[in-house]
Amino acid sequence: MSTEDIAKRWYSVTSYGAATLCVSEQDARDVAATCDRQWPQDGPHRAVQLVDADALAALEARAAAAENLAAGRLELIESDRRNALKIRDERDALRARLAEIEAQEPFGTVTQKSGLAEGQFFVQWTKLPAIGTKLYARPVPAARISKTYAGTDA
């Protein structure tokens, strides 16, 4: 609903509030001029447009609700933008840290497997690195660690 949808009626109104319903704006102006000549003591007569107060109030309430909704959406957009910037900064910091880690030299190489038997706890839950794997102070590059459950890769 817009202000165009609210029925607007033209009236000729006296100084004390008596109103005469008119057909159009021009009709209201003509009636006001005629009334000024015929009843000058009740003047000045004015051509006014009146609307249904309840319909106008409902329209104003809907407009206020729409403004509140828009303000809420703008706040969500701003919050998402701040979060995206924060995530971007974290990503850039992690990239820089990864580049630093990748530049490290390995401190050793796997030359033999541990003496643990297959049935022991450690081997059941972790795959040991292959012989020849370079060992770093931290994982380089980051790799998924597979876990073995009852002999199956998870």
What is the 8-class DSSP label of residue 7?
-
Query: DSSP alpha helices (H): ranges in the chain?
Result: 25-38, 53-102, 121-125
Phi, then psi, of 13 in degrees rounded to 5: -120, 140
More confident residue, 70 or 103: 70
Cα(154)–Cα(149) distance, rounded to whole angstroms?
7
Cα(26)–Cα(48) distance, rounded to whole angstroms?
11
What is the 8-class DSSP label of residue 134?
E
31 burial level (CB within 10 Å; 0-12, 13-18, 19+)? buried
Is the confidence at residue 69, as pLDDT, over 80? Answer: yes
Q: Which of 31-45, 84-98, 131-145 has the lowest mean pLDDT?
A: 131-145
More confident residue, 154 or 12: 12
Note the pLDDT of residue 133: 77
Cα(105)–Cα(102) distance, rounded to whole angstroms?
8
More confident residue, 124 or 140: 140
Question: How is residue 51 written in tokens?
Answer: 């609307």
22 burial level (CB within 10 Å; 0-12, 13-18, 19+)? buried
Note the pLDDT of residue 121: 42
Give bridge partners of residue 148 from the DSSP assignment: 153
Mean pLDDT throughout 112-127? 51
Note the pLDDT of residue 122: 45
State the pLDDT confidence band at 98, using cuts at 50, 70 and 90: confident
Is the confidence at residue 78, as pLDDT, over 90? Answer: yes
Residue recorded with tokens 């370079």: 134
The domain limits of the chain are 8-50, 52-103, 105-145
Q: Which of 41-50, 97-106, 116-125 has the lowest mean pLDDT?
A: 116-125
Is the confidence at residue 112, as pLDDT, over 60? Answer: yes
More confident residue, 4 or 67: 67
Q: Do residues 45 and 70 make contact, with C-beta atoms less than 8 angstroms apart?
A: no
State the pLDDT confidence band at 73, using cuts at 50, 70 and 90: very high
Q: Do residues 127 and 145 make contact, with C-beta atoms less than 8 angstroms apart?
A: yes
